[in-house]
Chain A
Amino acid sequence: MREILRITNLHTYFFTPEGIVRANYGVDLSVWEGEVLGLMGESGCGKTVLAYSILRLQQPGKIVEGSIFFDGRELTRLTEKEMEKIRGKEIALVPQDPAASLNPVFTIGEQLREIVRVRNNERSLWDELKSAFKRGSKYHEDEIVKLLEEVGIASPQQRMKNYPHELSGGMKQRILIAMALLARPKLIIADEPTTALDVTIQAQILQLFKKLKGKTTILLITHDPGVAVEICDRVAVMYAGKIIELADTSSLLKNPLHPYTQGLFSSLSFSRKTYLPFIEGEVPDLIHFPQGCSFHPRCPKKKPICLIEEPPIIKFRNRWVKCHLY
């Protein structure tokens, strides 16, 4: 298997009047071609910033250090124009909020055609004017219809004439997934694709992702351990801007190593007779990190060294963990 994306020591900071927010504080991550990699973590741990950093859309944040190696290119060194050709075409992102991500004044069909035009690199002023004024006319219609059927939209021709407000949340999410697929990207980043949906629709969308598995590489961002376990080949756990554990799904589920991961999964598989276990405390504020391991204030197994020294990331039987316990 080929490594399609390698992130090494990525630091993305936000410089605010209150201080420097270290949203990504030395992230190391590899994505293999064809796999579904889960990126799991609490809200505010830097998952979305990581996704946007990969696309170089982390503004107003800055990539201070580190490299993003994608398919033979170093993304942090590319110009904005070169990045525009990578976004969507090679790395597509399914955004978090399907309702906000569709333009309310255009029909679904018009917006899908727009993606085809971007994909086909029709970027001269003339092409862009054509797209702006001829969005109603048919363009690569068969391909779009086929794709919509693939993502489970019934009567696609009809739906393409609808405006976003005429569709349900689940349908909008399917449309966005179709948009991401339309450009046939090498990597799809799905940023919490099920968060804005209710549970039954979530299950349907997860089924859809399962169907996509193997056809394309997916980086699935989620805060839900259940979702991660359901569809991912490997799962990376993120905490306070760092990857703290990375393993294949089954071994992570059977035997989580990091106390944080243990906490996450214990809240997933609790028995009904007891209280829901949870991890005490809060995610550290990303401006003032605790010294040593950033998890130590909440860690039930902390040792004296955890307070002073940051643990290195160590390989432990084909998996990685960042903890002094091992």
Chain B
Amino acid sequence: MNIGKITNIAPTGRFGLAILLIFTTLAIFAPIIAPHDPFAPGRPFLPPSPEHPLGTNDIGQDIFSELLYGARISLLTGFLAAFVSVVIGTLVGITAGYRGGLIDEILMGLTDVMLIIPGLPLMIILAAYLKPSFWNIVIIIGLLWWPGTARVVRSQVLSLREAGYVEASRIMGAGDRWIILNHILPNVMPIVLAKFNLAVAGAMLTEASLSFLGLGDPMAKSWGMMLHYAFSRGGFINGLWWWYLPPGLCIALCVLGFTLLSFSFEEKTDPRLKRILER
């Protein structure tokens, strides 16, 4: 399985990957690249200048540095929340699809309930009740994003379970755990990966929404928090575009990157999609 081969994915996917690599690099090397300490106050409401490439905010923190540090929190939240959701989704999907019967009914019923509940309001309630912190946001998003993965994985497992090679390996004396680890899991991995990418995009958006509504961790600098402060402290009203536009664009670009990458993964797992997309 070489789904990771960069040369093998479609140009759109490579473009998405490039965006993500740039942002990841910026996030990792934020302390080196950032011209200022993003928490250090200074002169407020400065317009862009060589000293402050994107000006300063209401308490005089350098917005460009904030942006770089924000990439860390936003990407990390996205990755961790997506990871949590994909792990739960894969476990539920494989269990339901492989076991079938009553367990399948119960798990899929639960999945349906989770799918029906409007996500954002529930997350707002949860975020409001729990203390707004980085880990709480990760867990809340992770716990609400798994049903999609679970459904897709389950349907794939339903067909894999009946595959000739699964039967053949049972004939050769393999147990359930063996079959799941050695035959089912590797075969659902491409789908899980595609879902993971989409989940990162979704989680980043959700994190931004929650933060924008003021339910994020107030001490962490994420892009959503930047938007929140730009909105609540007069950035929008006074037309200080260098304050609210960059974080918004960054979120959009990252989501675009993950989505493009996810599409190209899905295309690889299901070549029929390619033809549909080209039509």
Pick from A87, A99, A176: contact of B173, CB under 8 Å = A87
Pick from B163, B177, B186: contact of A125, CB under 8 Å = B177
CB-defined interface of A166-202 with B at 8 Å, one 1/0 digit per residue?
Answer: 0000000000100110010000000000000000000
B117 contacts chain A at the CB level, 8 A cutoff: no
CB-defined interface of B156-185 with A at 8 Å, one 1/0 digit per residue?
Answer: 000000011101111111110110011101
Chain A positions within 8 Å of B168 at CB level: 95, 101-102, 176
> Which segment of A128-136, A153-161, A204-212, A283-291 sits at the interface?
A128-136
A92 contacts chain B at the CB level, 8 A cutoff: yes
| B175 adjacent to A123 (CB under 8 Å) | yes
Closest chain A residue, CB of each to CB of B172: A88
Chain B positions within 8 Å of A123 at CB level: 175, 178
Chain A positions within 8 Å of B174 at CB level: 84, 88, 118
Chain A positions within 8 Å of B185 at CB level: 132
B187 contacts chain A at the CB level, 8 A cutoff: yes
Known: A128-B182, A132-B185. A84 touches B175 (CB 8 A): yes
A232 contacts chain B at the CB level, 8 A cutoff: no
Which A residues, 75 to 124, have Cβ-Cβ distances below 8 Å to chain B?
81, 84-89, 92-93, 95, 97, 99-106, 114-115, 118-119, 123
Chain B positions within 8 Å of A106 at CB level: 186
Q: How far, in angstroms, from A217 to B275 measured CA to CA in the complex? A: 51
Chain A positions within 8 Å of B167 at CB level: 57, 95, 101
Known: A95-B164, A118-B178, A128-B177. A103 touches B183 (CB 8 A): yes
Closest chain A residue, CB of each to CB of B185: A132
Q: How far, in angstroms, from A92 to B170 measured CA to CA in the complex? A: 10
Most chain-A CB neighbours within 10 Å: which of B171, B183, B185?
B171
Number of A-B contacts (CB under 8 A): 79
A36 contacts chain B at the CB level, 8 A cutoff: no
Known: A106-B186, A128-B177. A100 touches B170 (CB 8 A): no
| A93 adjacent to B165 (CB under 8 Å) | no
A148 contacts chain B at the CB level, 8 A cutoff: no
Q: How far, in angstroms, from A179 to B163 measured CA to CA in the complex? A: 18
Most chain-A CB neighbours within 10 Å: which of B178, B181, B186?
B178
B1 contacts chain A at the CB level, 8 A cutoff: yes
A171 nearest CB across to chain B (Å): 16
Closest chain B residue, CB of each to CB of A55: B171
B100 nearest CB across to chain A (Å): 11
Which B residues, 1 to 60, have Cβ-Cβ distances below 8 Å to chain A?
1
| A89 adjacent to B173 (CB under 8 Å) | yes
Chain A positions within 8 Å of B163 at CB level: 100, 103
Q: How far, in angstroms, from A183 to B164 measured CA to CA in the complex? A: 20
| B164 adjacent to A129 (CB under 8 Å) | no
Chain B positions within 8 Å of A93 at CB level: 171
CB-defined interface of A53-88 with B at 8 Å, one 1/0 digit per residue?
Answer: 001010000000000000000000000010011111
| B171 adjacent to A100 (CB under 8 Å) | no
Q: How far, in angstroms, from A86 to B172 measured CA to CA in the complex? A: 9
Chain B positions within 8 Å of A180 at CB level: 172
A133 nearest CB across to chain B (Å): 9
Pick from B173, B181, B187: contact of A118, CB under 8 Å = B173
Q: How far, in angstroms, from A222 to B182 measured CA to CA in the complex? A: 31
Pick from B164, B172, B186: contact of A105, CB under 8 Å = B186
| B177 adjacent to A103 (CB under 8 Å) | no
Chain A positions within 8 Å of B169 at CB level: 103, 114, 118
CB-defined interface of A204-231 with B at 8 Å, one 1/0 digit per residue?
Answer: 0000000000000000000000000000
| A84 adjacent to B186 (CB under 8 Å) | no
Chain B positions within 8 Å of A88 at CB level: 171-174
B8 nearest CB across to chain A (Å): 15
| B182 adjacent to A57 (CB under 8 Å) | no
| A100 adjacent to B172 (CB under 8 Å) | no
Chain B positions within 8 Å of A129 at CB level: 181
Known: A118-B178, A128-B178. A97 touches B173 (CB 8 A): no
| B172 adjacent to A118 (CB under 8 Å) | yes
Q: How far, in angstroms, from A118 to B183 measured CA to CA in the complex? A: 14
B170 nearest CB across to chain A (Å): 6
Chain B positions within 8 Å of A115 at CB level: 172
Chain A positions within 8 Å of B181 at CB level: 128-129, 131-132
Chain A positions within 8 Å of B164 at CB level: 95, 97, 99-102
Known: A100-B163, A125-B177. A105 touches B187 (CB 8 A): yes
CB-defined interface of A223-251 with B at 8 Å, one 1/0 digit per residue?
Answer: 00000000000000000000000000000
| B171 adjacent to A57 (CB under 8 Å) | yes
| A95 adjacent to B171 (CB under 8 Å) | yes
| B187 adjacent to A92 (CB under 8 Å) | no
- In the complex, besides A88-B174, A128-B177, 9 extra interface pairs with C-beta distance below 8 angstroms are A86-B173, A95-B164, A95-B171, A103-B165, A118-B169, A118-B172, A118-B173, A131-B181, A180-B172
Q: List 5 A-B contacts (CB under 8 A).
A: A95-B167, A100-B164, A103-B187, A106-B186, A128-B178
Report which B residues bind A (CB closer than 8 A).
1, 163-165, 167-175, 177-178, 181-183, 185-187
For the complex of A and B, 7 pairs with smallest distance between CB atoms: A100-B164, A88-B173, A88-B172, A87-B173, A101-B168, A103-B165, A132-B181
